[in-house]
Structure 1
Amino acid sequence: MNYISVFFILLILSCQSPESSLTPEEIVDKAITYSGKSKLNTNELEFAFRDYNYKATPTCEGMRLERMSKDEPIKDVLFDGELKRYYKDSLVKLADTTTFNYFESVNSVHYFTQLPVRLKDDAVQLSDLGKEVIKDKTYHKLEVKFSENGGGVDFEDIYIYWIDAEDYSLDYLAYSFLVNGGGLRFRKAINRRTIDGVVFQDYENYKPKVKSKKLNEIGKMYENEELELLSLIENKAIKLTSITLDCN
């Protein structure tokens, strides 16, 4: 190899964007910085979703997640991997299957509201799927799987996140699930707004018009109008309250 060839190789390498060498963890860190969601580690989050009010409170032992009925004195509390239901502050005994369903429901609503900071959970296993263009914008495409230890009741579910390659906003996500016969869902971020320095967004929730198991192709399915709108995921009355933790 002559000196001219070496020169051009070095020139090409020097011109490559440092963004091309980002690890999945670094991409997630940038997405969290954009969202301001790290503030949830020191703030209590309250919001309303459909028939319930929700509250997420950081504690020294982890996040305490609550769901309160708007119509009845019923409260579900998810803490330290266990769900408890209260009626007028009295503990209610639940069947195992009912507990499982409530656990899944409470955790799911809070999970999506706290994204992308939940991508730093210990059970998360990140993989880089390269880049993909959706609606003429380039995205980092990340796959998330979960370890069985700490991955919750749905640890076998698989997620894909599309993070804008320029500003690191989380614009789309999709997931496969096994319960109730299984399926795919695709969500598009809408109504993005900033509250007390934290970015929140709602979602259009889609499913394939024809049942599919090809999660990796669902971005192309969205581009090709092969998805149908299933529902809207809208969080209202969002409120952040600063708290002080003394964990020493």
Structure 2
Amino acid sequence: MKYLVVVILFFSFLNCKQDVREDMSAQSLVDRTIEVSGGHLIDSTIIDFDFRDKHYMSFRNKGVFHLERRFKDSVKETKDILNNKGFMRLIDNIPFAVRDSMAVKYSASVNSVHYFSVLPYGLNDKAVNKELLDDTTIKNKAYHTVKVTFNEDGGGEDYEDVFIYWINKDTFKVDYLAYSYNESDGLGLRFREAYNERYVKGIRFVDYNNYKPENPSMPLIKLAELFDQGALKLLSKIELENVTVN
């Protein structure tokens, strides 16, 4: 009888644990993946890295943010700054007037690189909407699937973009993501595979293989299945170099 009670308690514990895993909400999943990726540290750090031919620096502190991009040509240095006050361009440290339409374009470009560099940090912003989708299997591993959309108010210039994140059920890390965005001739689709994971002073950084489907009208959620079948085209690699955290 004693052994029977132990067996019953053991399986009850397993069932409770399974129920907890299955009952996780989109919000709790995002909270967990931000935690394991060191997102709580980003609010009080200066992060520097190089991406392609440009240098990026960010500073965040409890809602205050300063995002920077620097690059040089043969005669001058350009510095783009995006912060709580808006966008500013400096050339050789002298303010340079930028047309409003171009300021929007430059702001989006600066923000995009910084946004991807520290994902999933940022997914708890007020303008973000999260929805839990059906679980997915990719390369024989099980994933929670979270869809992210943005409110127009506070969602930025690209508020109509849609993201899907595949969160590893064992590690609670984002291994894959996909997103749709507006192009001049229609909708663009991208799928990213994380690799080269490393932690720098407690913050997780990854690089990405960047893919697209042959059929641009393919539903975004189907990109994981196409990737698993080897049916996506590799466009580029997103690699962050010389990452430092202070």
Matched, 1:79 2:108: no
The 1:179–1:57 alpha-carbon spacing in structure 2 relative to 1, beyond 3 Å, is: same
Work out which of the residue numbers 189, 193, 196 in structure 2 matches 1:188.
193
8 Å Cα contact 1:183/1:213 also seen in 2: no
The CA RMSD measured in Å over matched residues stands at 1.9
Aligned length: 233
Q: Quote how far apart the aligned CAs of 1:164 are.
A: 0.3
TM-score, normalised to structure 2's length? 0.89
- Between 122-131 and 31-40, the greater mean CA deviation after superposition: 31-40
Work out which of the residue numbers 226, 231, 234 in structure 2 matches 1:229.
234
Aligned to 2:109: 105
Letter aligned with residue 53 of structure 1: H
Work out which of the residue numbers 135, 139, 163 in structure 1 matches 2:139.
135
Aligned to 2:29: 27
Percent sequence identity over matched residues?
A: 37
The 1:15–1:153 alpha-carbon spacing in structure 2 relative to 1, beyond 3 Å, is: closer
1:139 and 1:132 map into 2 onto residues whose CA distance is: 5
Work out which of the residue numbers 109, 116, 140 in structure 1 matches 2:120.
116
The list of structure 1 runs, each at least 4 consecutive aligned residues, that deviate by more than 6 angstroms after superposition, is none
Q: Secondary structure at the match of 1:163?
A: strand
Letter aligned with residue 167 of structure 2: I
1:190 and 1:85 map into 2 onto residues whose CA distance is: 33
Q: Secondary structure at the match of 1:17?
A: helix
The 1:187–1:14 alpha-carbon spacing in structure 2 relative to 1, beyond 3 Å, is: closer
- Between 93-102 and 132-141, the greater mean CA deviation after superposition: 93-102
Q: Secondary structure at the match of 1:120?
A: coil
The 1:45–1:211 alpha-carbon spacing in structure 2 relative to 1, beyond 3 Å, is: same
Cα deviation digits, residues 62-116 of structure 1 (max 9, x gap): 2111001144411000112621111122211112222122111101000001111
1:140 and 1:222 map into 2 onto residues whose CA distance is: 17
Work out which of the residue numbers 50, 53, 68 in structure 1 matches 2:52.
50
8 Å Cα contact 2:167/2:173 also seen in 1: yes
1:214 and 1:53 map into 2 onto residues whose CA distance is: 35
1:15 and 1:123 map into 2 onto residues whose CA distance is: 32
Work out which of the residue numbers 190, 198, 204 in structure 1 matches 2:203.
198
- Between 13-22 and 44-53, the greater mean CA deviation after superposition: 13-22
**Alignment map for 1:210-229 (pairs within 5 Å):** 210-229=215-234
Letter aligned with residue 78 of structure 1: L
- Between 151-160 and 66-75, the greater mean CA deviation after superposition: 66-75
Q: Secondary structure at the match of 1:216?
A: helix
Aligned to 1:160: 164
TM-score, normalised to structure 1's length? 0.88
1:213 and 1:81 map into 2 onto residues whose CA distance is: 39
Matched, 1:91 2:95: yes
**Structure 1, unpaired ranges of 5+:** 1-10, 242-248
Letter aligned with residue 224 of structure 1: Q
